[in-house]
A and B are shown apart, each in its own frame.
Chain A
Amino acid sequence: MRALAEPFIHLAGVAKVYGQHRAISDASFDVMPGELVSLVGPSGCGKSTLLKILAGLHAHDGGEVQIGSPSHPFDPSKDVGMVFQAPLLLKWRRVLDNVLLPAEILGLPAAQSRERARDLLALVGLAGNEDKYPYELSGGMQQRAAIARALVHDPKLVLMDEPFGALDALTREKMNLELLRIWKEAGKTIVFVTHGISEAVFLGTRVIVLTAGPARMADNFVVELAYPRTLDMKTHERFGEYTRRVYRLLGME
């Protein structure tokens, strides 16, 4: 418990510029180990850019990015798992082999990785689908497989870029609950990018609000709703307060 004071991710004044365009300016926030932080904002607010900076895919143009701490060391080549809006499963690979892709790239021991991939498929609710091809799965199931793939190499940080944005509303709610369960069981730090305000509040231990034009960080607050969260919490007074707070910041009220 004593390590709790050390943030796992520390961002201070982070900026990213593409030519004349400021994709993000002065992003500053901390993420504690094991947190599920929602980054919410409209398109063009720089949330995907931030995610790519965290993934080590983009260099930042200013400020400080620090991931990992003495108690939670972080290896940028092994400790990032990614989930995107599209499942991006390889059509020619069976589900189990899709999940194994990061393990193969990292050259992890094959037998152990297979074992782990099977366990993860069970964790995401896909036991029995190991030998199917992606086209045999529904959109929601494909995204579950993509989540298992993001966890197979046991990364410390999982980055999700609107992972449920392409799903229908009901599947999306179901996947939100599933993600919370997986997060609890896998114990990962998750940064979850979304433009769904209700989704951001429902999932997050904390919500970071980004606004567009100019892209900047507008708010960062802790969601004081107990886990495990249930769908009826969405009707709670406090849940409404949080979502209204975000709507107001995004100029939608």
Chain B
Amino acid sequence: MNTKLGRWTLAVLAHLAFLVAWYLFVRLGNVPKFVMPSPAATLDALLEPHYGWWTNIAVTGTEIFGGYFLALVVGVALALVFTWSKPLEAFFMPLLVSLNMVPKVALGPLIIVWFKYGVLPNSIMAFSIAVFPILLTTARGLREIEPELLDLVRSLKGSRWQLFTKIQLPGSLPYIFSGMKVGAILAVAGAIVGEFLGSDRGLGYLMLQVQVTLDTPAMFMAVLLITVIGMVLYGIVLALERLLVPKDARIG
């Protein structure tokens, strides 16, 4: 209990120390606001009404959560299909491993050609970058079953379905969450890159707009808000993991 409290205290202290260091650096170094604003100046950026913070948060949030959710559904579903069909896995897995090597960011201009500007192409961007870690780790989790556990089920003449529901699926949960955590971070990056490449709304779009006027505090605020959206997503994943996976089984 004590150590847990201690860790939380340290975590809060580290963040506060970072803020103080940031403040002191700007203040004592007389750093101009357009190069690096102070924490207070960054907060002030929120007061600018025509930046439409709430709308942009909603847009970027939708892209990240939408793309991520799609990646989760598709990634896990494909992995399940592969566990049930060895030929399908043998055929598609090498292809997917190669596709995983494609830098998804490089697809940005193409996605814009195909889907125009807006929430959809940026969600697809987030999806395309988050889906692979979820798919690959889930497939691995479903595959990794101790041969002796298989023997145990077989010695009882257990069915393929029983093996799947009682051992494979619950056994793969830690892997699914491991992939989901990596995917969560990537989905944020994907959506923002999408907004950079072409969009008319969102926090990434806003950053490009205020960059022209050298409103660095607003850029700082946008980055901060993107980070917070990412933290919320990551936090939800962590909370679900805590709920569904016992302590010892968690990985990554």
Residues of A within 8 A of B (CB): 52, 55-57, 76-78, 80, 82, 84, 86, 88, 90-93, 101-102, 104-106, 133-135, 153, 159, 161
Which of B185-193, B199-207, B240-248 interfaces with chain A?
B240-248
Contact A84 B171 (CB under 8 A): no
Contact B248 A134 (CB under 8 A): yes
List 19 additional A-B contacts (Cβ < 8 Å) besides A80-B156, A92-B249.
A52-B151, A55-B155, A56-B155, A77-B156, A82-B155, A84-B152, A86-B146, A88-B146, A88-B152, A90-B171, A92-B170, A92-B173, A92-B246, A102-B156, A104-B162, A106-B156, A133-B248, A159-B155, A161-B148
Collect the chain B residues with CB atoms within 8 Å of residue A82's CB: 151-152, 155
Identify the closest chain A residue to B162 (Cβ): A105
Cβ of B157 within 8 Å of any chain A Cβ, yes or no, is: yes
List the 4 closest pairs (A to B, CB-CB), nearest first.
Answer: A135-B248, A77-B157, A91-B249, A105-B158
Cβ of B154 within 8 Å of any chain A Cβ, yes or no, is: yes
Cβ of B167 within 8 Å of any chain A Cβ, yes or no, is: yes
Q: 8 Å CB contacts to A: which residues of B219-252? A: 245-249
Collect the chain A residues with CB atoms within 8 Å of residue B245's CB: 92
Cβ of B26 within 8 Å of any chain A Cβ, yes or no, is: no
Cβ of B166 within 8 Å of any chain A Cβ, yes or no, is: yes
Docked pose: A32 CA to B148 CA in angstroms: 27
Question: Mind listing 11 A-B residue pairs with CB under 8 Å?
Answer: A57-B154, A77-B156, A80-B156, A82-B151, A84-B151, A84-B152, A90-B167, A90-B171, A102-B156, A105-B153, A159-B155
Q: 8 Å CB contacts to A: which residues of B92-112? A: none
Identify the closest chain A residue to B167 (Cβ): A90
Identify the closest chain B residue to A77 (Cβ): B157
Docked pose: A101 CA to B148 CA in angstroms: 14
Collect the chain B residues with CB atoms within 8 Å of residue A153's CB: 156
Determine how close the nearest CB of chain A comes to the CB of B149; give it in whole angstroms.
5
Identify the closest chain A residue to B157 (Cβ): A77
Contact B246 A133 (CB under 8 A): yes
Docked pose: A157 CA to B151 CA in angstroms: 15
Docked pose: A135 CA to B250 CA in angstroms: 12
Collect the chain A residues with CB atoms within 8 Å of residue B148's CB: 84, 86, 88, 161
Docked pose: A51 CA to B250 CA in angstroms: 33
Collect the chain B residues with CB atoms within 8 Å of residue A76's CB: 157
With contacts A104-B166, A133-B246, A133-B248 taken as known, whether A88 is within 8 angstroms of B156 at the C-beta atoms is no
Collect the chain B residues with CB atoms within 8 Å of residue A102's CB: 152, 156
Interface 1/0s, chain B 157-174, versus A by CB < 8 A?
110001000110011010
Identify the closest chain B residue to A146 (Cβ): B152
Docked pose: A93 CA to B173 CA in angstroms: 13
Docked pose: A101 CA to B170 CA in angstroms: 13
Collect the chain B residues with CB atoms within 8 Å of residue A57's CB: 151, 154-155
Docked pose: A176 CA to B173 CA in angstroms: 36
Collect the chain B residues with CB atoms within 8 Å of residue A104's CB: 162, 166
Docked pose: A159 CA to B151 CA in angstroms: 12
Contact B155 A80 (CB under 8 A): yes
Docked pose: A159 CA to B248 CA in angstroms: 28
Determine how close the nearest CB of chain B comes to the CB of A43; give it in whole angstroms.
16
Identify the closest chain B residue to A78 (Cβ): B156
Contact B247 A133 (CB under 8 A): yes
Collect the chain B residues with CB atoms within 8 Å of residue A134's CB: 248
Determine how close the nearest CB of chain A comes to the CB of B39; give it in whole angstroms.
43
Docked pose: A55 CA to B148 CA in angstroms: 12
Docked pose: A84 CA to B173 CA in angstroms: 24
Task: Choose from B152, B154, B246 the contact partner of A91 (Cβ within 8 Å).
Answer: B246
Collect the chain A residues with CB atoms within 8 Å of residue B247's CB: 133, 135
Collect the chain A residues with CB atoms within 8 Å of residue B249's CB: 91-92
Docked pose: A84 CA to B167 CA in angstroms: 17
Contact A135 B246 (CB under 8 A): yes
Collect the chain A residues with CB atoms within 8 Å of residue B154's CB: 57
Identify the closest chain B residue to A89 (Cβ): B149
Identify the closest chain A residue to B148 (Cβ): A84
Determine how close the nearest CB of chain A comes to the CB of B47; give it in whole angstroms.
49
Docked pose: A84 CA to B146 CA in angstroms: 11
Contact B166 A101 (CB under 8 A): yes
Collect the chain B residues with CB atoms within 8 Å of residue A88's CB: 146, 148-149, 152
Determine how close the nearest CB of chain B comes to the CB of A106; give it in whole angstroms.
6
Determine how close the nearest CB of chain A comes to the CB of B78; give it in whole angstroms.
23
